[in-house]
Structure formats: structure tokens, C-alpha cells
Amino acid sequence: MNFGGVMENVVTRSEFPLKKALETLKNETIAVVGYGIQGPGQALNLKDNGFNVIIGQRKGSKTWEKAVKEGWVPGDSLFEIEDACKKGSIILYLLSDAGQIQLWPTVKKHLNSGKTLCFSHGFAITYKERTGVVPPTDVDVILVAPKGSGTSLRRMFLENRGLNSSYAIHQDYTGKAFEKVISLGVGVGSGYLFETTFKKEVYSDLTGERGTLMGAIQGIFAAQYQVLRDNGHSPSEAFNETVEELTQSLMPLVAENGMDWMYANCSTTAQRGALDWWKRFRDASLPVFKSLYEEVAKGNEAQLSIDSNGKEDYRVKLDCELKELRDSEMWKTGESVRSLRPERENKNC
């Protein structure tokens, strides 16, 4: 398929329908190891689509209880991690990056010849010198990476929509890795699947998370909000002009038809200002993005994640950092603004 003049390998659901995916994996047991961020969405979508799915999770953990509440049955479709790895012919490895490092010896010993190991992030394989995750040579190693949170994946599935995913093949021992990876991609609810590599997936993912998806957008929000507040604007006005209008009004227009269409459907004053200023923001942020990508490519960002996420007090420190965001005036104001949004009309009335 042509993307901006560049040809890419893309697989759509019309080209590889669910019926074909089910036939491809009809004799496979998919063991979803980890029920945290991506696990619930992917596992439930696969289950609802008719695949044979079991869950591997630590018994007694909060996520074990979450799995039980969401319909997984202990001893039938919910097992301890090691038991799930024994039973699964496809191991969908969805623990956190730190969790994957910690549990790798347990998972590896159950990767019998011909099994399939599937990731949703290229981290462990790409940075194998740092993670120690080196699969046996006689298994298929593939990747299906939904471009969004597990919550979004599940929500869009229930709305009969799909979240786009990338796919990659690291090892094709059986000669059937392509059919397997596309079948899993269709099964978890992908809109379409585009080809990548483990390395490119993790480089783009780490850059995006630290950049426009999360880190940069929070930084831009905070900067504009502060400038407006420093110049006497109320919290409500500052938040609406910084966050609410973007997320509720403009971004849906961009998603529908692109940035140029959104510009064309705003006031002429807004058009002129946006066209005059966007390149200044690009030029100001470009060096930061270049530096960010270099740090990702060097493995420094990966090492920082490994070092911090592996510490016993990681969750405590994380909660403190998230509390700083949550308790800031901007996001306290956001809480109030969200509470005032009118409820959607009940279309059944």
C-alpha cells in the first residue's frame, strides 16, 4: 500500500479475514502471560473472536482476581504462569518489560521446539544484551503491537472498530510465522497490520511515548497553561484553551480527515496563526526529538527503564510522580471541567 509516496507491506482484515485466522490457529492454545496493561484487552478479544485462550498469572495477585472477575476460570482458563507456559503452544508474552526479564528463565524452559513466542513490544529482544532474553533457535518469534493501550483496544473492539497494529517476524522456524502473526493480529482486534521489525518497533515506540504521545504533549500542555495563568487567565479558561478544546473538538477532526482538513474547518484567524507558528514549534522541538531518538538508539532509555522499573520501591516512587501530575492545578481543573461535560443523550429514548 502507498503511504505518502512510500510503498509498505500492509495486511487488512478483508485480505486476511477472521475465518482464515481461526482456521490457521485452530489447533493452537494461546497462553497469554500477564494480565496487566495489554493482557486483558488482547485476551478478551481473542476469546470473543473464538480462539482457544488461557491466562497465565500469579495466583493471589490483584491481576489474578481481575482475571477471575472478567470471566477466566481457575484451573480451566486461568493458571499459574508456569502451568500456562506448559499448556500453551503460542505464548503471548505480555508482562511488563521488567517482568519479562524477571520471568524469562521460567518461560524459556517451556519453549519446546516448534512453539511460538509472541511479543507486543520489541524491547526484550532488541536490547537482549541488557535483558538476557534470547529465545531458542527452534521456535517462532513474532510481534503484534497494537498502537494504543489495552483499554483502547478492548473499547474499540466492543464498538466493532479496530486499533491498528504493527507486526514483525524475528524467527521463522516452522515456516508458518507469517500466518501465525497475522492471525494473532486479526484475533486481538487490529484494524490493519503494517510490517516493521522488533528494533524499529521499540525505537518508534519509546520515542513516541516520550514524545508526542505522552511526554511532549504533557510538557506543551504545562507550558501553555502556565503562560495563560501567569497572564491572569482563570484556571477554567486556561484549561479549556489548552486541553479541552484540543481533545474534545480538534483532535477528532484531525482523526477524521487530517490536519489540513481541520485547519480548513476552523476560523480564518485560527488558520493564519496556526500556519504562521507551526514551523517555529517544529524547529524548536526538532533538536529535542533528535536527542531523544539518539538516547533510544544507544540503549540509554532502555537501561533507565530497566534500572528504575526493577527496583522494589518503583511503584511507590511512581505513585508519587503521578500524584504530582494529578494534584497540579491544571489537572485538578481538568477534573472539574470533565465533571461539567454534558452527558450524551440516550439514543434509545
User: pLDDT (tens digit, 9 = 90+) per residue, 292-327?
Assistant: 999 999 999 999 999 988 788 988 999 999 999 999
Residues marked active site are found at: 121
293: Cβ contacts below 8 Å, ≥ 6 apart? 203, 207
Is residue 191 a contact partner of residue 166, using CB atoms and an 8 Å limit?
Answer: no
Low-confidence ranges of the chain (pLDDT < 70): 343-349
CATH of 2-196 given 3.40.1800.10, 3.30.300.30, 3.40.50.300, 3.40.50.720: 3.40.50.720
pLDDT digits over 58-69, tens only? 999 999 999 999
| Residue spans of beta strands (DSSP E) within 28-105 | 30-33, 53-56, 78-79, 90-93
| Beta-strand runs (E) in the chain | 2-3, 6-7, 10-12, 30-33, 53-56, 78-79, 90-93, 116-119, 140-146, 163-171, 190-195
Cα separation, 20 vs 186, in Å, equals 10
Query: Alpha-carbon distance 213 to 206, whole Å?
Result: 10
Q: Kindly report whether the global pTM for this prediction surpasses the value 0.75.
A: yes
* Whole-number Å distance between alpha carbons of 38 and 294: 27
Model confidence over 85-117: pLDDT tens digits? 999 999 999 999 999 999 999 999 999 999 999
Dist CA 1 CA 9 (whole Å): 6
Task: Cite the residue boundaries of each domain of the chain with CATH code 3.40.50.720.
Answer: 2-196
